[in-house]
Amino acid sequence: MNLILLGPPGAGKGTQAEGIAKKRGLIQLSTGDMLRQAVKAGTPVGQEASVIMEAGGLVPDHVVIKIIAERIALPDCAEGFILDGFPRTLKQAAALDELLTSQGKKIDAVIELKVNDAALIDRISGRYVCANCGASYHDTSCKPKVEGVCDRCGGKDFIRRPDDNPETVKNRLMAYYRETAPLIGYYFAKGKLHSVDGMAPIADVAAQVDGVLNTLAAP
Ligand code: AP5
């Protein structure tokens, strides 16, 4: 099963993608995480991306398309993947279609997480991530099971993302409405779009997504 999670910054794409990947044995492909790793490693892609990401803009299409094309070609993606944060423009969506068609694959469903803008600001300003593995938490709605210890890797250092400040968040939201929101219509027209209420608590959103995926999996 190959899936796309679609939604504005802070909608819960990363949170839901991690749960779905674990439950369904899919590979989670987050372009945001991949770019942050490149920034950390100081690669040429990371150097190009860091200024853009800190300003809340979108990294050029050709850069992220190349990253995803190389990653999807790896053998671990053969059994299915979930894209979190890609595609983000119509050009990326068209490139993804072309890439998958050339490999005899397709997208089975696009899950849109619908969330109010005001809630997004609250979620992003309360978010902190594990400095080691990037797992995402929230000051009130999603704390680690053991305080101060990452559920995923056991790390004890947490940081706030440099692009999670009020000014950058506004730019990220504008980039979403300008460049990414048209994908809702694009995938609706292809009969792939499934919208869920992303305002519900995390477990309830996961249950809605599960319901959609069970329908797809049914014979
Ligand atoms: P990226 O890392 O993809 O950021 P984003 O899309 O802005 O999404 P976020 O990671 O902020 O939010 P999310 O939806 O994953 O929410 P989360 O689950 O963490 O991209 C960063 C940057 O990289 C971009 O701005 C761009 O510059 C660049 N980039 C990446 N991909 C690109 C591409 N394809 N093309 C060009 N540029 C690209 O949840 C947020 C918080 O809310 C957490 O604290 C969480 O615990 C909490 N939460 C989650 N769900 C709920 C819930 N149901 N109720 C209450 N709280 C919740």
* Burial class of residue 92 in the structure, from the number of CB atoms within 10 Å of its CB (0-12 exposed, 13-18 middle, 19+ buried): buried
Distances (CA, A) of 204 to 19, 115, 209, 211: 12, 14, 9, 11
**What pLDDT score was predicted for residue 96?**
98
pLDDT digits (tens, 9 = 90+) for 3-54: 999 999 999 999 999 999 999 999 999 999 999 999 999 999 999 999 999 9
Q: Respond yes or no: is residue 88 known to be catalytic.
A: yes
**What pLDDT score was predicted for residue 125?**
87
| Peptide bond preceding 87 in cis form (omega within 30 of 0) | yes
Decide whether any atom of ligand 1 lies within 6 Å of the 194 Cβ: no
Q: Respond yes or no: is residue 13 known to be catalytic.
A: yes
- Cα distance between residue 112 and residue 101, in whole Å: 23
pLDDT digits (tens, 9 = 90+) for 53-100: 999 999 999 999 999 999 999 999 999 999 999 999 999 999 999 999
Decide whether any atom of ligand 1 lies within 6 Å of the 158 Cβ: no
Decide whether any atom of ligand 1 lies within 6 Å of the 36 Cβ: no
* Burial class of residue 80 in the structure, from the number of CB atoms within 10 Å of its CB (0-12 exposed, 13-18 middle, 19+ buried): middle
- Cα distance between residue 67 and residue 11, in whole Å: 23
Query: Hey, is 55 helix, strand or coil?
Result: helix
What percent of the chain has pLDDT above 70? 99
Q: Respond yes or no: is residue 160 known to be catalytic.
A: no
Which of 96, 67, 91, 119 minimizes the C-alpha distance to 180?
Answer: 91
Among 4, 13, 83, say which to mutate for ligand 1: greatest number of ligand atoms within 8 Å of CB: 13
* DSSP-assigned letter for residue 202: H
Residue having the nearest C-alpha atom to atom 39 of ligand 1 = 12
The CA 103 to ligand 1 mean position distance, Å, reads 28
**What pLDDT score was predicted for residue 45?**
94
Phi, psi angle pair for 135, to nearest 5°: -60, 140
For all residues of the chain together, what is the average pLDDT? 94
Which range, 74-88, 123-137, 155-169, is most confident?
74-88
Among 15, 64, 160, say which to mutate for ligand 1: greatest number of ligand atoms within 8 Å of CB: 15
Signed CA dihedral, 123, 129, 135, 138: sign only: negative
